[in-house]
Structure 1
Amino acid sequence: MKTICLYFEIHQVIHLKRYRFFDIGTDHYYYDSFENERTISEIADKSYMPALEALQQMIHESGKAFKVTFSLSGVGIEQLEIHAPQVLEKLQELNSTGCVEFLAEPYSHGLASLANEESFKSEVKRQAQKIKEYFGQTPKVLRNSSLIYSDEIGLLASRMGFKGMLTEGAKHVLGWKSPHYVYNCALDPKLKLLLRDVKLSDDISLRFNNSDWEGYPLFADTYMDEIAALPEEEQVIGVFMNLSALGIEQPLSSNILEFFKAWPACAKQRGITFSTPTELCMKLKSVDRLDVPDTLSWMDEERDVSTWLGNPMQREAFNKLYSIADRVRIADDPRINQDWDYLQASDNFRFMSTKPSRVGMDRGIYSSPFDAFTNYMNVLGDFLNRVNSLYPAEIDNEELNSLLTTIRNQGEELEMKSKEISHLQAKVDTLEKEELRLRDEKEKKASGRKPAAGRAAKKSVSRKKTEKAVPADEKAG
Structure 2
Amino acid sequence: MRTICFYFQVHQPLRIKPYRFFDIGDDHYYWDDYSNKSIMRKVAQKCYLPMNALLLDLINHYNGAFKVSFSISGVCLDQFELYAPDVLESFQKLVATGHVELLSETDAHALCSLKSNDEFARMVKNHKEKIKKHFNGYEPKVFRNTELIYSDSIGAMVYELGYRGILTEGAKHILGWKSPNYVYQNAIKPELKVLLKNFQLSDDIAFRFSNKTWPAYPLTTDKFVNWINMIPKEEETLNLFMDYETFGEHQWADSGIFDFMKALPEAVFQGSDFGFSTPSEVLGRAKNIAPIHVPTPISWADEERDLTAWLGNDLQDEAFEKLYQLEHLVKQIEDEEIQRDWTYLQTSDHFYYMCTKFFSDGDIHAYFSPYDSPYDAFINYMNALSDFILRVEQHLKKQIL
TM-score bin, normalised by smaller chain:
over 0.9
- Mapped partners of 1:361, 1:70: distance in 2: 26
Partners of 1:212 and 1:111 lie apart in 2 by 35
Name the structure 2 match of 1:340: 342
Q: Which residue of 2 aligns with 1:387?
A: 392
Match of 1:50, SS state, is helix
Secondary structure at the counterpart of residue 326 of structure 1 = helix
* In 2, Cα distance between equivalents of 1:232 and 1:309: 39
Aligned-residue CA RMSD (Å)? 1.4
CA distance in 1, matches of 2:346, 2:16: 12
Tell me which protein shows more helix as a share of its residues: 1
Mapped contact 1:2–1:228 kept (Cα < 8 A): no
In structure 2, the partner of 1:413 is none
Aligned partner of 2:305 in structure 1 is 303
Whether the 8 Å contact between 1:206 and 1:359 is mirrored in structure 2 is: no
Q: Work out the CA distance in 2 between the residues paired with 1:275 and 1:97.
A: 14
Partners of 1:253 and 1:387 lie apart in 2 by 49
- Residue 5 in structure 1 maps to residue 35 in structure 2: no
Tell me the residue number matched to 1:197: 198
Equivalent residues in 2 for 1:393-472 (5 A)?
none
1:10-409 counterparts in 2 under 5 A?
10-135=10-135, 136-269=137-270, 270-356=272-358, 357=361, 359=364, 361-362=366-367, 365-392=370-397
1:282 Cα deviation from its structure 2 partner = 1.4
Runs of 4+ in structure 1 deviating by more than 4 angstroms, as ranges, are none
Q: Secondary structure at the match of 1:210?
A: coil
Shift of 1:360: 5.0
1: CA distance between counterparts of 2:287 and 2:124? Answer: 26
Deviation of residue 60 (structure 1)? Answer: 1.1
**SS state at 1:340 partner:** helix
8 Å Cα contact 2:128-2:139 kept in structure 1:
yes
Secondary structure of the equivalent of 1:288?
A: strand
Shift of 1:261: 1.0
Cα 1:306–1:204 change in 2 (3 A) is same
Give ranges in structure 2 of 5+ residues lacking alignment.
none
Give the TM-score normalised by structure 2.
Answer: 0.96
Structure 1 unaligned spans of 5+: 394-399, 404-477
Structure with greater Cα Rg: 1
Q: Which moved more, 1:352-361 or 1:126-135?
A: 352-361
**Residue pair 1:208, 1:216 contacting (<8 A) in 2 also:** yes
Contact 1:109 1:145 in 2 (8 A): yes
**Residue type of the partner of 1:126?**
N
Cα distance in 2 for partners of 1:18, 1:64 equals 46
In 2: Cα distance, 1:295 partner to 1:365 partner: 27
Displacement of 1:30: 0.7
Whether the 8 Å contact between 2:352 and 2:365 is mirrored in structure 1 is no
Deviation at residue 365 of structure 1 after TM alignment = 4.9
> Percent identity among equivalent residues?
46
Partners of 2:369 and 2:8 in 1: CA distance:
24
CA–CA separation in structure 2 for the residues paired with 1:268 and 1:376? 49
Post-superposition shift, 1:289?
Answer: 0.1
Query: Does the Cα contact within 8 Å between 2:355 and 2:365 map onto a contact in 1?
Result: no
Equivalent residue for 1:464? none
Q: Contact conserved, 2:149 with 2:168, CA < 8 A, in 1?
A: yes
Using the alignment, how far apart are the partners of 2:334 and 2:258 within structure 1? Answer: 44
Maintained 8 Å contact 2:182/2:288: yes
> 2: distance between equivalents of 1:206 and 1:355?
18
The residue aligned with 1:454 is none
| Contact 1:308–1:353 (CA under 8 A) maintained in structure 2 | yes
What is the rounded CA distance, in whole Å, between the counterparts of 1:58 and 1:214 in structure 2? 30
Whole-angstrom distance in 1 between the partners of 2:312 and 2:18: 24
> Take 1:142 and 1:329, find their aligned partners in 2: how far apart are those partners?
25
For residues 310 and 21 of structure 2, the distance between their equivalents in structure 1, rounded to whole angstroms, comes to 24
Instruction: Output the amino acid matched with 2:45.
Output: D
Which amino acid in the other structure matches residue 377 of structure 2? A
Indicate how the Cα distance of structure 1 residues 22 and 372 shifts in structure 2: closer, same or farther if over 3 A, else same. same
SS in structure 1 opposite 2:195?
strand
1:277 partner letter: P
> In the alignment, residue 165 of structure 2 is paired with which amino acid?
G
Counterpart-to-counterpart distance in 2, 1:262 and 1:43: 23
Using a 3 Å threshold, how does the CA distance of structure 1 residues 76 and 318 change in structure 2: closer, same or farther? same
The secondary structure found in structure 1 opposite 2:345 is helix
How many angstroms does 1:389 deviate by? 1.4
The SS at the match of 1:187 is: coil
Number of positions where the alignment pairs a residue of Structure 1 with one of Structure 2: 395
Give the 3 Å change call, closer, same or farther, for CA 157–379 of structure 1 in structure 2: same
* Counterpart code for 2:27: D
Letter in 2 for 1:165: I
Query: Quick one: distance in 2 between partners of 1:65 and 1:114?
Result: 38
Cα distance change, pair 175–364 in 1 and its aligned pair in 2 (3 A): closer
Shift of 1:361: 3.2
Distance in 2, matches of 1:303 and 1:363, equals 18
Deviations 1:118-167 (A, max 9, x none): 00111011101111122232111110011000011000000111010000
Q: Name the CA distance, whole Å, in 1 between partners of 2:159 and 2:280.
A: 14
Partner secondary structure for residue 298 of structure 1: coil
CA distance in 2, matches of 1:287, 1:339: 43
Q: What code does the residue aligned with 2:187 have?
A: A
By how many angstroms is 1:220 displaced?
Answer: 1.0
